[in-house]
């Protein structure tokens, strides 16, 4: 595997491989010295055309924990601000001979184009409303830590599915791991024909008590201006996950950033059933695993590195 562009690139075996690798990095992360020398001498470029806190910081830290040199470029304050095209920006950054480029871009397919242009491994860190595969992988990892196998579990993805790349990646990922996926939200925010992906559609939370996991999506305020929902108040009344709707054994997830009091009530957000903090922690080790698999994985001979378990710096190899 050379690139990670979308969850449709991964079968269950590949997902398992990445999750197992992430598990070994989780162990490293609990040690005093959290750094391994795997990518020493290699360069990882992160290029973010959209604002991001979680994804950009965790990819950066993941690359640094693997001892890579990291170049982080944000659209604002760079040549991109001055109208430089994606292709020209990439050409410039390619001069550093990066082993991997992590790209977030407001347009679907940007990372696919990049993969055609460069020799580096390309990691899609979110492209428009299309895909966000590292998010789906960290969500699966988080769930596996909590409940073991996803086989036969019922996962509800609730809210603005239409505009959500997280939903598109997770529908594929959760189903690949054997879960049953139900999407719920107002019809204006459920894309037409989504049943073709194998999920079911609900327009209310009346039956949400059958869910093992409730995965909430961020309700973006600008959607209200475009009349996708008549009012945030009504949306919250119909689709907010609050303690009245949440059953005692159900788990709650959210990709962040959260709108307290809109898609989720504060008490649910802060309760023990919420896995939101674990998701962020998983983000780091899963992104380390993604970089590791792409840059040193057994199929990538170009990297010229053995496919062995990572050994922390300071320990005998």
Partner 1 sequence: MNRGPETVEQPLPTPLVQRPGPPASVLIVGAHVLDPGEGIDSTHDILIEDGRISEIAEPGSIEPGEGVERVDGSGKHVFPAFFDPHVHLRTPGQEYKEDLETGTRSAAAGGYAGVLAMANTSPPVSSPADIDALRHRARSEASVPVGFLATVTRDMAGLELTDMAELREAGAVGFTDDGVPVVNPGILRKALQYQRMCGGRIALHEEDPALTAGGAMHEGTVSMELGLRGVPSISESTMIARDAAIAGYEGGRIQVQHLSAIESIEAVRRARADGVDITCEVTPHHLCLTDEAVRDLDASKHKMNPPLRSEADRQALIEALLDGTIDCIATDHAPHAVEEKEVPYEAAMMGVTGLETAFASLYTELVLPGTIPLELIVEKLGCGGEPFDIDRFRVAEGQPASLCLVDLDAEWTVGEHGYESRSRNSWCAGRTLSGRILMTLADGQVAYRLRSFSLGVA
Positions in the binding site for partner 1 (CB under 8 A): 85-87, 105, 107-110, 112-113, 127-131, 165, 168, 191-194, 196-197
**Taking the complex as a whole, how short is the minimal distance between the CB of residue 110 and partner 1, in angstroms?**
4
Nearer to partner 1, 124 or 250 (CB): 124
CB closer to partner 1, 19 vs 166: 166
How far is the C-alpha of 147 from the C-alpha of 68, rounded, in Å?
A: 33
Q: How far is the CB of 220 from partner 1 (least distance, A)?
A: 15
CB of 142 to partner 1, least distance (A): 23
| Strands of 154-158's sheet in order across | 200-202, 180-184, 154-158, 213-216, 251-253
Q: Closer CB to partner 1, residue 227 or residue 231?
A: 227
Least distance from partner 1 to the Cβ atom of residue 190, Å: 10
Instruction: Between 179 and 183, name the residue whose CB sits nearer to partner 1.
Output: 183
Cβ nearer to partner 1, comparing 21 with 165: 165
Q: Which is nearer to partner 1, 132 or 254 (CB)?
A: 132
**Closest approach of partner 1 to the CB of residue 159, in Å:** 15
* Smallest distance, partner 1 to C-beta of residue 113, A: 6
3-state per-residue secondary structure call for the chain: CCCECCHHHCCHHHHHHHHHHHHHHHHHHCCCCCCCCCCCCCEEEEEECCCCCHHHHHHHHHHHHCCCEEEEEECCCCHHHHCCCHHHHHHHHHCCCCCEEEEEECCCCHHHHHHHHCCCEEEEEEECCCECHHHHHHHHHHHHHHHCCCCCCEEEEECCCCCCHHHHHHHHHHHHCCCEEEEECCHHHCCCCHHHHCCEEECCCCCHHHCCEEEECCCCHHHHHCCCCCCHHHHHHHHCECCCCCCCCCEEECCCCCCECCCECHHHHCCCCECHHHHHHHHHHHHHHHHHHHHHCCCCHHHCCCCCCCCCCCCCC
State in angstroms the smallest separation of the CB of 165 from partner 1.
6
Residue 127 or 212 having the CB closest to partner 1: 127
């Amino acid at each position: 595997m050379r690139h990670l562009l979308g969850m449709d690139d991964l079968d269950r075996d590949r997902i398992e491989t990445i999750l197992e690798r992430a598990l070994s990095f989780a162990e490293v992360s609990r040690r005093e010295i959290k750094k391994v020398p795997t990518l020493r001498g290699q360069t990882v470029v992160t290029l973010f055309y959209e604002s991001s806190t979680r994804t950009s910081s965790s990819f950066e830290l993941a690359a640094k924990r693997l001892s890579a040199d990291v170049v982080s470029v944000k659209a604002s304050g760079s040549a991109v601000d001055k109208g430089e095209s994606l292709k020209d920006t990439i050409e410039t950054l390619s001069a550093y001979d990066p082993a991997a480029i992590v790209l977030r871009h407001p347009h679907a397919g940007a990372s696919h184009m990049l993969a055609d242009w460069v020799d580096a491994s390309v990691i899609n860190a979110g492209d428009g409303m299309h895909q966000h595969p590292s998010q789906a992988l960290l969500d699966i990892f988080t769930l596996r830590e909590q409940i073991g196998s996803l086989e036969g579990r019922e996962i509800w993805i609730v809210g603005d599915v239409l505009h959500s790349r997280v939903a598109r990646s997770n529908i594929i990922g959760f189903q690949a791991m054997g879960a049953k996926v139900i999407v719920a939200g107002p019809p204006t925010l459920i894309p037409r024909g989504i049943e073709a992906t194998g999920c079911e559609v609900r327009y209310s939370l009346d039956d949400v008590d059958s869910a093992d996991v409730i995965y909430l999506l961020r309700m973006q305020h600008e959607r209200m201006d475009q009349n996708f929902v008549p009012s945030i108040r009504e949306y919250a009344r119909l689709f907010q996950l609050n303690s009245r709707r949440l059953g005692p054994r159900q788990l709650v997830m959210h990709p962040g950033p959260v709108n307290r009091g809109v898609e989720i009530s504060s008490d649910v957000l802060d309760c023990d059933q919420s896995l939101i903090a674990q998701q962020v922690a998983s983000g780091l080790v899963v992104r380390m695993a993604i970089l590791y698999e792409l840059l040193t994985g057994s199929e990538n001979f170009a990297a010229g590195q053995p496919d062995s378990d990572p050994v922390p710096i300071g320990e005998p190899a």
